[in-house]
Structure 1
Amino acid sequence: MQERIKWNSLPASVRDAIGERAGHVSAARTVSQGMNSALAAVLDTSAGRVFVKGIRQDYPGVVAQQREATINPHVRPLAPALLWRLDDVDGWDVLAFEFIEGRHPNYAPGSADLLAVLAALDTLAALPLPDLPLKDARRRWHEYLDADDAELLGGETLLHTDYNPDNILITADGTARMIDWAWPTRGAAWIDPCCLALRLIAAGHTAAEAEQWVARTRAWADAPRAALDVFARANVDMWADIAASDPQPWKQRMADAARQWADARLVPTSR
């Protein structure tokens, strides 16, 4: 996780370079959500409002930001447009996106936001798979599966995979927009509904309730039961490892959610 840096604490050379592209910056508001960028701020400029995120080029996470820049033209129906990029300013990589006014969704039971999020999943699943060197779902989860089971995750659908509510914006018209495309992945269409289901369980839904919600997506209808069981088992082990290596409360909640889901599906696990 990156320590967030305020606008005025950036090197002057970086602020000047951003101002040359964005217009004179009259105000800057640091955004607290998100974990991967040192810089995340909404700027009021002479050309309008813009969201900028940045990371030092010597930080390993810069690779994820580069992936986000590459995928952006292919996910425009859902993601704010990438306006420009500064890829070498005094050791910084900076992306500027159109500013989208919105709030993060409430995933709790009874939330009116869930239908909008499900609609976004359907929109994403219908997008063409871009010809890019994407992550492959079989490789992303292979550490927690044997080779035959990992093949069940293969597919030709573009996936987001990280349905942390901080990665979704609900706009004034009730539309859900997806942000933070650090892990665009190629795989089976039903994987994204599963990733959302885990977040719903962590937010207070039972496993059965979470599955009832994501069953409304078109991708879920084609999900083989055996594949869902395999994926549930893999997520128990994956989130247990994540929570053990960095026991932040939200990671422990995700580990517990993965266990609840697997238990509800009666999937034997190794832990």
Structure 2
Amino acid sequence: MPTTRIDWPDLPAPARALVEEHIGRITAFRTAGAGLNSEVAAVLDTVNGRVFLKGVPLARKTLAACQRREAAVNPFVLAVTPALLWSGEAEGWNLLAFEYVDSRHADYRPGSTDLDGIVEVLNRLHKIAAPDLPEIRRAEQRWSSWDTGDYAELFVGDRLLHTDFAGHNVLIGTDDHAAWMVDWAWATTGAGFIDPACLIIRLIDAGHSAKGAETWARRCDAWAAAEPRAVDAFAEACVRMWNEIAKNGPAVWTRSMARSAHKWAAYRRGMR
């Protein structure tokens, strides 16, 4: 469920002091509106430049673990994501400070000029082998709960996957229009086709037909090596996953994602 966003001054004073000790005195702040999980998400102007700060309470153990995963992965994904400048914990908070990128959120709608850049950043990511880190989960484990056909072994691979292509997790640079992938909370090791597959559902949700969404996926290098039965199995697992998410957190967007997953799976069934 979405968290309640708080402003920079609402952090405990010792936590703010620790942040300033490492990134510089804060001269101005702006609380970000997008995103679901971080209680603190703010653009901070400092005497040393601008940074993006995100934070969650340590009491929210799952979210704190996600942020630790994001911090652990960051050095390996600098080709596609802003650099982590500092991370720390204080006064019951896990905090991450990132290099600021002047950008906007990606537009996934049909006809968007952002789509080429999104494919390009996925192709850059596909070149990155997953590091051997205990924080990173494996795809065959993550989706095994929703794979009733015992096909989870088809999701095995050595690529580093992002897996969460919500529009606010892909940024488009204001000046160069380059795409950047942020929020690595669900970083996973697995077969390369899984990231384009996750993108397909987001594209359908943004108004693409299932066929049209797959056309964009086919432009991703990772898609070429995908076995059709692996893609079919993943589509069916996504239906069950999004059904469960929508049932447990019945928001408008979760129900819409469940419908989009159904559309993709139905399209895959029609191809057999």
Shift of 1:146: 3.7
2:76 matches 1:67: no
Q: Percent identity?
A: 46
For the residue of structure 1 that corresponds to 2:42, the secondary structure is strand
Q: Which amino acid aligns with 1:249?
A: V
For the residue of structure 2 that corresponds to 1:247, the secondary structure is coil
Q: Give the distance between the partners of 2:130 and 2:78, measured in 1 at CA.
A: 13
Other-structure match for 2:49: 48
Runs of 4+ aligned residues of structure 1 deviating over 4 Å after TM superposition are: none
Other-structure match for 1:93: 94
For the residue of structure 2 that corresponds to 1:103, the secondary structure is strand
Other-structure match for 2:82: 80
Shift of 1:242: 0.5
The two structures have a TM-score, normalised by structure 2, of: 0.95
For the residue of structure 2 that corresponds to 1:265, the secondary structure is helix
RMSD of Structure 2 on Structure 1 (CA): 1.3
Q: Give the distance between the partners of 1:3 and 1:84, measured in 2 at CA.
A: 24
Q: Give the distance between the partners of 1:251 and 1:75, measured in 2 at CA.
A: 28
Call closer, same or farther: CA 1:115–1:251 in 2, change over 3 Å.
same
Other-structure match for 1:264: 267
Call closer, same or farther: CA 1:233–1:147 in 2, change over 3 Å.
closer
Shift of 1:38: 0.9
Q: Give the distance between the partners of 2:141 and 2:130, measured in 1 at CA.
A: 17
2:176 matches 1:173: yes
2:227 matches 1:224: yes
Shift of 1:2: 2.0
Q: Give the distance between the partners of 1:129 and 1:258, measured in 2 at CA.
A: 26
Q: Deviations over 1:55-83 (max 9, x none)?
A: 11121210000000000000011111001
Of the three residues 156, 159, 162, the one matched with 2:158 is: 156
Other-structure match for 2:242: 239
Q: Deviations over 1:118-171 (max 9, x none)?
A: 011110010132121221000101011147301111111110000111001101
Shift of 1:33: 1.1
For the residue of structure 2 that corresponds to 1:148, the secondary structure is coil
Matches within 5 A, 1:195-210: 195-210=198-213
Gaps of at least 5 residues in structure 2 are none
Q: Give the distance between the partners of 2:6 and 2:179, measured in 1 at CA.
A: 28
Q: Give the distance between the partners of 1:147 and 1:233, measured in 2 at CA.
A: 9
Q: Deviations over 1:200-257 (max 9, x none)?
A: 0000000000001110011111111111111111111110110111111111111000
For the residue of structure 2 that corresponds to 1:266, the secondary structure is helix
Count of residues in Structure 1 that have an aligned counterpart in Structure 2:
267
Other-structure match for 2:35: 34
Q: Which amino acid aligns with 1:196?
A: L
Other-structure match for 1:249: 252
Q: Give the distance between the partners of 2:70 and 2:130, measured in 1 at CA.
A: 15
Gaps of at least 5 residues in structure 1 are none
